[in-house]
Amino acid sequence: MIPLSITISGFLSYRDRTELDFSGFDLACIAGANGAGKSSLLDAITWSLFGQARKRDDSLINSKEDLAEVSFIFTYEGNVYRVIRSKPRNKTTILEFHILQEKGDEAGKRDYESGTWKPLTERTLRDTEAHIQETLRLDYETFVNASFFLQGKADQFTQQRPGDRKRILSSILGLEIWEDYRQQAGDLRRTIEKDIHAIEGRMQEITSELTEEEVRKSRLQELQKELNDLSQNRAIQETTLETIRQIAATLVEQERVVGILARQSEEAAQNLSGIKERLNSRQEERASFNQLLSREQDIEESYAAWQKSRESLESWEAVAARFREGEKKRQGPLDEINAAQAVLLQERQTLEDQQREILALQSQIPEIEKNLESVAGNAKDAEHRLARRKLLLEELQIAQKNQAEAKAENPRLKNDMEEIKGRIDQLSKTEGATCPLCGQLLSQSDRHALIESLNIQGREMGDKYRANLDLVEQTDEKVRDLENQIESLSTADSELRKYEKTSVQLTSNLEVLNAQKDQWEDKSAPRLAEITTSIDQDTFAPEARERLAVVNEELKGIGYDAAAHDSVRKAESDGRQSEVEMRALEKAKAAMTPLEREIIDLESQIVNLEDEVSRKGAEHTKAAEALEISRQKAPDQEAAEGVLLNLQERENRLRMEVGAAKQKVLVLEDLKSRFSALDTERT
Q: What is the 3-state secondary structure (H, E, C) of 145-188?
A: HHCCCCCCCCCCCCCCCHHHHHHHHHHHHCCHHHHHHHHHHHHH
Residue 155: predicted pLDDT: 47
Reported for 236-243, long-range contacts at CB under 8 A and 24+ positions apart, including other chains, are 237/640, 237/643, 237/644, 237/647, 238/644, 240/640, 241/637, 241/640, 241/641, 241/644
Residue 537 pLDDT greater than 50, yes or no: yes
Mean pLDDT of 96-103: 84
The CA distance from 7 to 130, in Å, is 23
DSSP string, 502-523: HHHHHHHHHHHHHHHHHHIIII
DSSP string, 467-491: HHHHHHHHHHHHHHHHHHHHHHTTT
Residue 7 pLDDT greater than 90, yes or no: yes
- CB count within 10 Å of CB 577 equals 13
CB 369 within 8 A of CB 459: no
Q: pLDDT by residue (tens digit) across 121-154?
A: 999 999 998 898 888 877 777 676 655 645 544 4
CB 305 within 8 A of CB 578: yes
Q: What is the mean pLDDT of the chain?
A: 77
The CA distance from 71 to 95, in Å, is 10
Residue 532 pLDDT greater than 50, yes or no: yes
Measured between alpha carbons, how far is residue 109 from residues 28, 47, 49, 78, 606 in Å?
20, 26, 22, 10, 133
Residue 84: predicted pLDDT: 93
Element spanning 7, H or E: strand 2-9
Higher local confidence (pLDDT), 289 or 15: 15
The mean-pLDDT minimum among 171-185, 208-222, 448-462, 601-615 falls in 171-185
User: Please, what's the largest Cα pairwise distance for the chain?
Assistant: 193
Residue 441: predicted pLDDT: 60
Closest of 188, 191, 193, 1 to residue 79, by C-alpha: 1
- CB count within 10 Å of CB 642 equals 11
The angle subtended at Cα 307 by Cα 302 and Cα 313, nearest 5°, is 125
Residue 535 CB contacts under 8 Å (≥ 6 apart), including other chains: 341, 344, 345, 348
Confidence at 555, pLDDT banded by 50, 70, 90: low
Element spanning 645, H or E: helix 637-682
The CA distance from 8 to 12, in Å, is 9
Element spanning 6, H or E: strand 2-9
Residue 183 pLDDT greater than 60, yes or no: yes
Residue 105: predicted pLDDT: 45
Question: Is residue 61 classed as helix, strand or coil in its secondary structure?
Answer: strand
Residue 327 CB contacts under 8 Å (≥ 6 apart), including other chains: 555
Mean pLDDT of 256-262: 82
CB 299 within 8 A of CB 582: yes
The angle subtended at Cα 364 by Cα 359 and Cα 367, nearest 5°, is 155
Higher local confidence (pLDDT), 73 or 163: 73
What type of residue sits at position 507? T
CA atoms within 13 A on the CB side of 349: 6
Q: pLDDT by residue (tens digit) across 35-92?
A: 777 788 888 888 988 888 878 788 888 888 889 999 999 998 889 999 999 999 999 9
Element spanning 73, H or E: strand 67-76
Measured between alpha carbons, how far is residue 599 from residues 286, 290, 591, 596 in Å?
9, 15, 12, 5
Residue 97: predicted pLDDT: 93
The CA distance from 118 to 499, in Å, is 102
pTM reported for the whole predicted model: 0.30
Confidence at 388, pLDDT banded by 50, 70, 90: confident
